């Protein structure tokens, strides 16, 4: 009876994601054949992404509070976080190096005339002021009040407050258990609302894709195909080469099976161009994979702000593209200095709409203002590049969770292999119930019976 019910639930969500695919195809045709109508429905995609972003702060808050509050040793939390941050710094550096190598090898911007697009960069130049600056970044972490972090939509502020609350509950000992149970109930409510919102994904995907094709046209996409090819190639090399090899050597698991396991999340990200839309599902799937809640609660939300491998590659490729397109190529030393600044600035702009373009404009304005006009050319295909950027960021955080879990011995490797081999399928429709039935202190090794019951 249990198996048939689980199969029925999975079948329902299967139809949902088939509808997303159909909506993407319909959006492309609508934007191409009826651009006027395609532009008019663009707000549907914006509304859907806004609905998802509305839930991001509550999801991160509950996840971190439960993850830290359920661990009785603060040193363990610090060890997991320290390993995660060190890993994020290493992978970002590797992503930059690969982006530099591919960009200098292919030179995708050579021979292009970008003067006609210079005016389009003005809006992103204005946004650049809020994208960088060390003191601005540090100041933006502290919210104006304890609750404003949950309403302002700032990922960094939510992380900061959740860490404070988690460690405070941890210090309270047994007296903090009622608070943990209350947060568990709130998390159940949040995931229930998310499951309702996700059924609107086909409508949001249709509006977003139709608007993009209507604005850019198929001709514009073809014109900049070289940059897109180079960027996608770099992302593929990084995900399946660097991350895949690291995961195989460290955890003994296949990146291809992990990608298959997260296939529906990839489809959701591709249709919305936002990795945030799949954050709640990544948390649930990593716990189902066998990673302890404490590790998932620290690595995944932190990675969404600090592990931006796709963004690092995007900044690399875009900068080299603009320099080549303007006939003013940068020396290797200039490339490293400029991109180091951009990667640091991107940490403060994580989760902000248009953060990629704003950070790009801010870096060029500070280091090479003569290249700033080239940002306008990127605007036309930024949406298509943002899909690969978001998918790469998502992949990096999924792999990071597995690796940190392996290094800290907070993952059940036997369960992970069973899940990746499809022996223990993820129950889509029971996601909200799973979040509520597990005790906050339940380790991954004991969650198996709860999740598959």
Tens-digit pLDDT profile for residues 187-210: 888 878 877 887 887 888 788 778
Q: Pick the more confident residue, 420 or 443.
A: 420
* CB 380, CB 220: distance < 8 Å: yes
Helix residue spans in 142-262 (DSSP H): 148-151, 155-172, 177-197, 201-223, 225-236, 244-251, 255-261
Specify the CATH number for the domain of residue 335: 1.10.3860.10
Q: pLDDT confidence of 118, banded at 50, 70, 90? A: very low
* CB 418, CB 426: distance < 8 Å: no
- Range(s) of the domain holding residue 188: 55-195+218-452
Q: What is the DSSP letter of 243?
A: I
Q: What is the mean pLDDT of residues 125-135?
A: 52
Position 365 scores a pLDDT of: 62
Q: Pick the more confident residue, 97 or 252.
A: 252
Residue 6 clears pLDDT 50, i.e. is over it: no
Q: Pick the more confident residue, 301 or 135.
A: 301
87-101, 131-145, 391-405 — most confident range = 391-405
Q: What is the mean pLDDT of residues 283-302?
A: 89
Residue 21 lies in a domain: no
Position 437 scores a pLDDT of: 43
Which H or E run includes 176?
none
- The Cα 397–Cα 298 span in angstroms is 11
Q: How many distinct structural domains can be found in the chain?
A: 1
Helix residue spans in 70-147 (DSSP H): 74-106, 122-127, 134-141
Residue 330 lies in a domain: yes
Q: What is the DSSP letter of 142?
A: S
Position 449 scores a pLDDT of: 34
Position 453 scores a pLDDT of: 29
Q: Pick the more confident residue, 452 or 219.
A: 219
Position 137 scores a pLDDT of: 62
Position 256 scores a pLDDT of: 95
Left, alpha or beta for 327 (phi > 0: left; psi -120 to 50: alpha)? Answer: left
Token pair 């963004």: residue: 311
Residue 30 lies in a domain: no
How many percent of the chain have pLDDT more than 90? 14
Q: What is the mean pLDDT of residues 57-61?
A: 79
- The Cα 317–Cα 105 span in angstroms is 11
Residue 10 lies in a domain: no
Residue 115 clears pLDDT 60, i.e. is over it: no
Residue 115 lies in a domain: yes
- The Cα 409–Cα 283 span in angstroms is 18
3-class secondary-structure state, position 163: helix
Q: What is the mean pLDDT of residues 408-422?
A: 92
* CB 28, CB 214: distance < 8 Å: no
User: Would you say the C-alpha torsion 51, 54, 57, 62 has a positive or negative sign?
Assistant: negative
Token pair 């996840």: residue: 63
Residue 18 lies in a domain: no
Q: How does pLDDT run across 423-446, given as a tens digit for each residue?
A: 988 876 555 444 444 433 333 333
For every residue of 322-391, DSSP letters joined together read HHHHTT-PPPHHHHHHHHHHHHHHHHHTTT-TTHHHHHHHHHHHHH-GGGGGGHHHHHTTHHHHHHHHHH
Residue 29 lies in a domain: no
Tokens coding 322: 């603009």
28-32, 178-182, 386-390 — most confident range = 178-182
Tokens coding 186: 């709130």
Q: How does pLDDT run across 327-384, given as a tens digit for each residue?
A: 777 777 777 777 676 665 555 445 444 456 666 766 666 667 777 666 655 655 566 6
3-class secondary-structure state, position 116: helix
Q: pLDDT confidence of 153, banded at 50, 70, 90? A: low
Tokens coding 420: 């990746």
Q: Pick the more confident residue, 429 or 393.
A: 393
Position 227 scores a pLDDT of: 72
Q: Pick the more confident residue, 326 or 27.
A: 27
Position 5 scores a pLDDT of: 41
- The Cα 304–Cα 60 span in angstroms is 10
Position 290 scores a pLDDT of: 93
Q: Pick the more confident residue, 336 or 405.
A: 405
């Amino acid at each position: 009876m249990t198996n048939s019910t689980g199969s029925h639930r999975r079948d329902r969500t299967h139809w949902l994601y088939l509808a997303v695919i159909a909506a993407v195809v319909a959006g492309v045709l609508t934007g191409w054949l009826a651009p006027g109508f395609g532009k008019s429905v663009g707000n549907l995609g914006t509304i859907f992404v806004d609905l998802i972003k509305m839930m991001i702060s509550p999801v991160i808050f509950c996840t971190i509070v439960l993850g830290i509050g359920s661990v009785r040793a603060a040193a363990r939390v610090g060890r997991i976080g320290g390993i995660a941050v060190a890993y994020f710094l290493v992978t970002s550096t590797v992503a930059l190096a690969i982006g530099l190598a591919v960009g200098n090898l292919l030179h995708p911007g050579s021979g292009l005339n970008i003067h006609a697009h210079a005016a389009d960069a003005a809006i992103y130049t204005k946004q650049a002021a809020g994208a960088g600056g060390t003191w601005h970044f540090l100041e933006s972490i502290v919210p104006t009040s304890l609750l404003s972090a949950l309403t302002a939509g700032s990922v960094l502020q939510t992380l900061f407050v959740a860490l404070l609350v988690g460690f405070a509950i941890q210090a309270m000992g047994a007296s903090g258990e009622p608070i943990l149970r209350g947060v568990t109930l709130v998390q159940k409510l949040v995931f229930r609302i998310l499951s309702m919102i996700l059924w609107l994904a086909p409508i949001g995907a249709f509006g977003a894709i139709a608007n993009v094709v209507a604005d850019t046209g198929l001709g514009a996409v073809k014109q900049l195909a070289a940059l897109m090819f180079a960027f996608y190639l770099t992302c593929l090399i990084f995900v399946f080469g660097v991350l895949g090899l690291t995961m195989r050597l460290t955890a003994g698991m296949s990146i291809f099976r992990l990608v298959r396991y997260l296939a529906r999340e990839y489809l959701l990200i591709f249709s919305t161009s936002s990795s945030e839309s799949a954050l709640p599902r990544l948390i649930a799937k990593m716990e189902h994979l066998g990673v302890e809640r404490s590790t998932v609660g620290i690595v995944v939300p932190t990675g969404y702000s600090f592990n931006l491998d796709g963004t690092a590659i995007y900044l690399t490729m875009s900068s080299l593209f603009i320099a080549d397109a303007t006939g003013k190529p940068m020396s290797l030393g200039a490339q490293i200095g400029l991109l180091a600044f951009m990667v640091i600035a991107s940490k403060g702009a994580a989760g902000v709409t248009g953060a990629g373009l704003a950070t790009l404009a801010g870096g060029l304005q500070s280091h090479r203002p003569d290249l700033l006009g080239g940002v306008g050319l990127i605007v036309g295909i930024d949406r298509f590049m943002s899909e690969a950027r978001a998918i790469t960021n998502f992949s990096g955080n999924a792999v990071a969770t597995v690796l940190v879990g392996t290094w800290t011995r907070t993952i059940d490797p036997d369960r992970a292999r069973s899940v990746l081999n499809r022996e223990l399928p993820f129950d889509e429709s029971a996601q909200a119930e799973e979040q509520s039935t597990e005790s906050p202190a339940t380790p991954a090794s004991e969650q198996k019976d709860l999740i598959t019951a």
